[in-house]
Amino acid sequence: MNLSSELRILGQYLAGEFDNQEQALAEPVWYVSLKLWQRPLHLFAADSITLFVEQANMATIAQPYRQRVIRLGYSSTDAKQLQAQYYMLKNIDAVKGGGSAPDKLKSLTPDDVEFLPSCTLNINVEQLEANSYRFVTTPACDTPCSFNYAGNAYQVFLGFEVTSAELKTYDRGIDPITGKSLWGALMGPFCFKKRQDFADVVSSYT
């Protein structure tokens, strides 16, 4: 596929296994220690880079949660605007644990995911030096990121900032009635360091 250098670099920065060990040790009252996987997928490979995302509390590493799919590409109305589109997995149990066991993800097809139209982020690009960037997200629309799963309504604030050195995530669960933040980055972003790099997988796709 013919992708821009900026989009390829974004995918390479995001692809990997991360944790926030330093942050959790420094501020244990506010931040739990998390493992985060962002595995490249072949979904939508014709025009974008797709990641399977999953995380786990380090204290219960065998019980991963927040499985989702992020598709990195460009806005349909602005060919220069990088975007991250979020998808919900229709059968989470089938791919649970796929972050550490990627064979579980090999059979995924576009029919296995559902696009969440209100959960799209614009990605702003800041060039730091040659082939080095900072990518920062903002919501693409004023509509809150909302969806239904297993008969329950959910609302989430999504956001991230990434460079070659660090990934910051701003995701928070929101009470759809009161608007109050319930979980996630309540005291500021989770700050992750990459421990295992999957950038070579992204490069092989592009």
Tens-digit pLDDT profile for residues 87-145: 999 999 999 999 999 999 999 999 999 999 999 999 999 999 988 999 999 999 999 99
Angle (CA) 98-49-52 rounded to 5° is 15
Fold of 5-205: Lipocalin (2.40.128)
48 contacts 73 by C-beta, under 8 angstroms: yes
Q: pLDDT tens across 136-165, in order?
A: 999 999 999 998 887 888 899 999 999 999
Instruction: Name the 3-class secondary structure at 161.
Output: strand
Map tokens 């800041």 to a residue: 126
141 contacts 167 by C-beta, under 8 angstroms: no
3-state SS of the chain: helix, strand, coil percent to 5? 20, 45, 35
- What share of the chain has pLDDT > 90, as a percent? 80
